[in-house]
Structure 1
Amino acid sequence: MSIMKDDEMTIPHLFRCPITLDLFTDPVTLCTGQTYDRSSIEKWLAAGNLTCPVTMQKLHDPSMVPNHTLRHLIDQWLHMGYRFDPDLIKMIDPDLSLATLKHDLESQQATMAIKLETLEKIKIVSEELPLQRCGLIQLGFFQVLLHLLFCNGSSPIANLKEEELKLSELALTCVLKLLPFSNLCYLDMLKQDSSLVSFLVLLNQGTSKIKTSLCCLIEIIATSSETKELCEMLGQNPGFLQEVIALLNPNAGASDAGIKAISVLCCSELIQESFVSEGLIDHLLAYISTVNRGQASMALSTLELLLGMENARKAVIKNQNAVHILVKMIFRVSDHAGSESAVSSLLIVCYESLKLREEAISAGVLTQLLLLLQSQCCCRAKNKARVLLKLLRSMWVEDPNVCKLQYGLVDA
């Protein structure tokens, strides 16, 4: 019996994407009620198809809703069904080719060229059928790859060579492929100082692809209950926080991935305080002022969240460019949520400081708010805009000269 036949018998029908017949990795449900793997249905829609592949119904709403229930059932099945089974290993790896690959990765005698060649082969296997991925997991490749990445004795002052960067890129690609089916507790190795140093060296010196992959790993660590303790530990490590904040610099080559990681980490109040102490506010404002409209929204919502803390508000008040940056964002972001966050942030800090209210008016906030009120933005954003206008109005009631025609208002 071929591996394909065995694979088809092994995976429950409901756990297969109807398009690829492969095991779901990120199941999402369409408005028709049919579930597909996200990457598969995105390709289908990108090709110009406007129907549901199974029912052929026209999609009146192309949005996709994550199917968390199905994902949970698959995770349970994987943990129960993918326990180490010698018979299953024999079926998956009859010629011991996977075992040989594992030996080559673990061997101290193997050259860098052999390890790179081995990782290329593992990458191909990890992208194939779930049964092959199961074999990699059962044979302990996930742990081996993590050890290869983070237990190499990297020095914080050493410069990584090109071949070391290539090895890290490949290893991280394989780790992310196996991650949805692996025990995340193995990531606890990052609690060890030596492993964390290796992680930070890659975050600092890595290629854009390495940094992006590490940010994906950080997102998983921040959102999984299995790694909650590890996340809290990382969130109190100044070196880690500084390296993540540094990703917001456009020259780092991974600013998009960096803001996503920061946004997820900031869901923890404890980590919020640590981030603010490490100067995140100034870096967030600088990031918002330099990126395009689509990228700014997540940073604006993160800033709004942080402004619930007194230290964060003080940091904004001290920043000479903060008000001008936020005023520009009121009508510049590409979605309503970004505009709402910009108005909310201004409202918070303007309540704190008369000086900032004056700066906001000088920066043209009145015109921006009036434009927002005439737009198609959500009711919440408009309500907040009205509250901010009311707050600012108290200034021109006391001094009519504050309200200039150029700001879009005249004294009644």
Structure 2
Amino acid sequence: MVLGWGRRKNNKKNKGGKPNMEVVIPNQFKCPITLDLMKDPVTLSTGITYDRESVERWFDEGNITCPLTNQVVRNFDMIPNHSLRIMIQDWCVENRQNGFERIPTPRIPVSPTDVSELVFRVKECARGLDQYGCVELVQKMEKWSNESGRNKKCIVENGAISGLALAFEAFANDSIERNLIVLEVILSSLNWMFPLQLEAQESLGSKASLHCMVWFLKHQDVKGKEKAIIALKEILSFGDEKHVEALLEIEGVNELLIEFINKRVSPIITKASLRIVWYLVSSNSSFNEKLKFSFVELGLVSSILNILIDSEKSVCEKAYTILDSLLSCDFGREKAYENDLTIPLLVKKILRVSPLTTEYSVSCIWKLCKFEEKNYEGKALIEALQVGAFQKLLLVLQVGCSDETKEKATELLKLMNPYRAELEECIDSDFKNLKRSY
């Protein structure tokens, strides 16, 4: 029995040129939440039927009541309403000429038990180094994930990340070249499952796994490099010193990261490389200063300055975090003094890109002016005045900033003030006459 009707206008015209009548959609075919035609009707324990996607979203948002009756739901099982779904499909077929397509029969959602069993089999294949069996299982997991967002969530929440990470470590520890296919498949699946869980972090952060990822960065195509560097960035984001130390034991890592930053192979690789370098230079490891020296010696200061010239906001912000860290050491400041871009570029970027880059610009200028070595004494202050830093810093104080930035800006103004009368020229440089460092 039709309990109510919804209307849908049909703008198509019949052969006589007159528009067809409005199409009415039975109310029981519509989801009570969205009022759209249901594609996968499911019935709750309260007896009310909803479209699966809509009611799952309702519960994901933290609700525990039935949307229509407001009853507290004790059992969150969703029973497919096959009879209603068949009725909706038949109705769509009957109204095909009015613009309705038959809704496809929905696939049965994957269950936590299905995922757990599959993950168990993946681990078994990894223990036996059965790469072809493992590939088949991971591809099945991929197929599930492509069917719906709900499946993806179920896969992630039921141990898939840790299972795949353990498998990746096992195959990488055996042989990268021999197990290349399965390693590629696992890494590709892991990429959409991030962020990592603690157990998975330990497996992917092992020496064997890190060696494999660096191998990918050296030998794979752009897509393969992207997957590997995203995984590497995810591992280092935990801030675990042993992962930093394990990565730095691999020969050529620093040089590889600098190469990616300079060549800008792809936006994904550039951003991830910058983030990884920041994790490295800002770590609390005992060899932090040595690491900074190594990166500066490889030309990282000039590389960062070149990035700051014309990069988008997110790249600029990542580059600034690294530069600010490098300028905390004497060798980093020395290389910055030697580059003609440094002061004009830092001053130019104040109030230009984002509040974050403004704060880092002030911090970098403060470090260069506050800790000038005897060989460069006064050089940074004078150059900053010449390119309009005094006025920019006053603006920073006027528009508002963090307390730390306010202190640094105020101190810079005091340091510059004695030089103002003779040296300030208020130049707003556009860098046309400045040469890049490469």
**Structure 1 counterpart of 2:191:** 173
| Among 295, 306, 311, the residue aligned to 1:278 | 295
| Among 348, 356, 365, the residue aligned to 1:328 | 348
Contact conserved, 1:298 with 1:338, CA < 8 A, in 2? no
Residues 1:204 and 2:184 aligned together? no
- Structure showing greater radius of gyration is 2
Mapped partners of 1:342, 1:390: distance in 2: 17
Partner-residue secondary structure (3-state), 1:404: coil
- After the TM superposition, which of the residue ranges 284-293 and 375-384 deviates more from structure 2? 375-384
Q: CA deviation at 1:206?
A: 4.2
**Structure 2 counterpart of 1:242:** 255
Matches within 5 A, 1:188-199: 188-190=205-207, 192=208, 196-199=210-213
Contact conserved, 2:390 with 2:413, CA < 8 A, in 1? yes
Mapped partners of 2:169, 2:230: distance in 1: 14
Q: CA deviation at 1:311?
A: 2.0
Mapped partners of 2:197, 2:140: distance in 1: 20
**Structure 1 counterpart of 2:245:** 232
AA aligned to 2:280 is: L
Contact conserved, 1:221 with 1:231, CA < 8 A, in 2? no
The structure-2 alpha-carbon separation of the partners of 1:130 and 1:171, relative to structure 1 and needing over 3 Å to count, comes to closer
Mapped partners of 1:363, 1:238: distance in 2: 42
Mapped partners of 1:145, 1:238: distance in 2: 21
Mapped partners of 2:354, 2:113: distance in 1: 49
> Please, what TM-score do these two structures have when normalized by structure 2?
0.57
| Among 239, 257, 262, the residue aligned to 2:277 | 262
Mapped partners of 2:275, 2:116: distance in 1: 43
Contact conserved, 2:216 with 2:225, CA < 8 A, in 1? yes
Mapped partners of 1:164, 1:183: distance in 2: 17
Mapped partners of 2:218, 2:115: distance in 1: 41
**Structure 2 counterpart of 1:309:** 329
Cα shift readout 1:147-182 (whole Å, capped 9, x = no counterpart)? 446754359xxxxx9x899646524436747x3263
**Structure 1 counterpart of 2:405:** 381
The structure-2 alpha-carbon separation of the partners of 1:318 and 1:171, relative to structure 1 and needing over 3 Å to count, comes to same
Contact conserved, 1:333 with 1:339, CA < 8 A, in 2? yes
**Structure 2 counterpart of 1:298:** 318
Matches within 5 A, 1:13-412: 19=57, 92=113, 118-125=137-144, 127-128=151-152, 130=154, 134=158, 136=160, 140-148=163-171, 151-154=174-177, 167=185, 170-173=188-191, 176=194, 179-180=196-197, 182-190=199-207, 192=208, 196-206=210-220, 210-224=224-238, 227-235=240-248, 237=250, 239-249=252-262, 250-253=264-267, 254-269=269-284, 270-271=287-288, 273-279=290-296, 280-335=300-355, 337-351=356-370, 352=372, 353=376, 354-397=378-421, 400=422, 402-404=423-425, 406=427
AA aligned to 1:243 is: L
Mapped partners of 1:304, 1:18: distance in 2: 45
AA aligned to 1:198 is: C
Q: CA deviation at 1:232?
A: 2.2
Mapped partners of 2:364, 2:254: distance in 1: 23
The structure-2 alpha-carbon separation of the partners of 1:281 and 1:101, relative to structure 1 and needing over 3 Å to count, comes to same
Contact conserved, 1:304 with 1:344, CA < 8 A, in 2? yes
Contact conserved, 1:145 with 1:175, CA < 8 A, in 2? no
Q: Which runs of 5+ in 1 are unaligned?
A: 5-16, 23-33, 37-53, 55-90, 156-160, 408-412
Contact conserved, 2:324 with 2:364, CA < 8 A, in 1? yes
Mapped partners of 1:379, 1:100: distance in 2: 55
Mapped partners of 2:387, 2:302: distance in 1: 19
Partner-residue secondary structure (3-state), 1:247: helix
Q: CA deviation at 1:202?
A: 1.6
Q: CA deviation at 1:274?
A: 0.7
Partner-residue secondary structure (3-state), 2:399: coil
Q: Which has the higher contact order (CA 8 A, sep 6+)?
A: 1
Contact conserved, 1:168 with 1:210, CA < 8 A, in 2? no
Partner-residue secondary structure (3-state), 1:308: coil
AA aligned to 1:347 is: W
Mapped partners of 2:124, 2:211: distance in 1: 26
Mapped partners of 1:94, 1:219: distance in 2: 27
Mapped partners of 2:116, 2:202: distance in 1: 30
**Structure 2 counterpart of 1:158:** none
Q: Which runs of 5+ in 2 are unaligned?
A: 1-41, 43-54, 64-71, 73-111, 146-150, 429-438
Contact conserved, 1:92 with 1:132, CA < 8 A, in 2? no
AA aligned to 2:425 is: K
Cα shift readout 1:239-295 (whole Å, capped 9, x = no counterpart)? 222223333232344222222222233331434531431233232222222312343
AA aligned to 2:168 is: L
> Please, what TM-score do these two structures have when normalized by structure 1?
0.60
